[in-house]
Amino acid sequence: MIHIKKDHEIEAMRLAGGVSSTVLREVAAYVKPGMSTLEIDQYGGERIRHHGGKSAFLGYRDYPCNICISVNEEVVHGLASQRRVQFGDIVSVDVGVRYEGFIGDNATTVVVGGCDPAVQRLMEVTEQALYDGLGQALAGNKVVDISRAIQGTAEANGYSIVREFVGHGVGKKVHEDPQIPNFDDGGRRSPVLKPGMTLAIEPMVNLGQRHVEMLEDGWTVVARDGLPSAHFEHTILVTDGEPEILTCPDNLPSSPEVS
């Protein structure tokens, strides 16, 4: 069942989105060569608490980390460890924050120092695919319109869309209906978008083939061919007009209660 948010719920999601996006930007700026992903995760947890929130991921289905950190060929759900990021790596940082009962969920992929131009292009196209998908999040459209836009941008540039993991509704729970594939699944029974829907749109795009596999840790998803993958995400609100990006630092609460 798709939950249409009421005005007070939307305002709460703006605040959660503001905290989540601010933490994401702080963590992205913090990443430097030689840091362990555990150090990055601990910093992310500290920043979430500083802004008065709680990690929406920690403990979710027993996930053991504050944020998701995925390096190079890791697509999503990477676990913090003693692994140190190196100059030339790309790092996907995925931050979910619960604030006053609602969740903001967003992700970005950052370069550690500098990277191969081909990998930089992958990141640029993946982010463009996100915004092209957002542009289709209009009342009266269907979820599949978002999916087709994302897939079209990625594949037109020679990249592959991960199909096993998708975007989703978000609100009081991390994952709500509807699912939002990043590819055209045929559009059968694709929900119509309505004002008040809040969606986490998140293309995952591979430099090589689309196929992925899960590591033995039960969480980390990697590109099977070992080539880099990029991931970008925003939480958005469907409105009567253009979609509103809720994961925006402008929505940061003015006086968060630090816990």
pLDDT per residue over 229-254, tens digit each? 999 999 999 999 999 999 999 988 87
pLDDT of residue 255: 59
2 belongs to a structural domain:
no
Report how many domains make up the chain: 1
95 belongs to a structural domain:
yes
Instruction: Output the six-digit token pair for 105.
Output: 């969920």
pLDDT of residue 150: 98
Average pLDDT value over all residues in the chain: 96
256 belongs to a structural domain:
no
- Cis ω for the linkage preceding 178 (within 30 of 0): yes
Q: Tell me, what DSSP letter sits at residue 187?
A: -
pLDDT lower than 50: segments of the chain:
256-259
What span, in angstroms and rounded, lies between the C-alpha atoms of 61 and 197?
A: 24
Q: Within the chain, how many helices (H) and strands (E) appear?
A: 4, 15
What span, in angstroms and rounded, lies between the C-alpha atoms of 138 and 124?
A: 24
| Residue found under tokens 């933490």 | 23
252 belongs to a structural domain:
no
pLDDT of residue 254: 76
Q: Which domain holds residue 70?
A: 7-247
* Phi, psi dihedrals of residue 221, rounded to the nearest 5°: -100, 130
CATH number, domain containing residue 183: 3.90.230.10
What span, in angstroms and rounded, lies between the C-alpha atoms of 123 and 71?
A: 13
CB burial of residue 178 (10 Å; 0-12, 13-18, 19+)? buried
44 belongs to a structural domain:
yes
104 belongs to a structural domain:
yes
pLDDT of residue 64: 98
254 belongs to a structural domain:
no
253 belongs to a structural domain:
no
* SS3 call for 259: coil
pTM (2 d.p.): 0.95
Helix boundaries (H) for the chain: 7-30, 37-50, 117-134, 143-156
| Residue found under tokens 């950190």 | 69
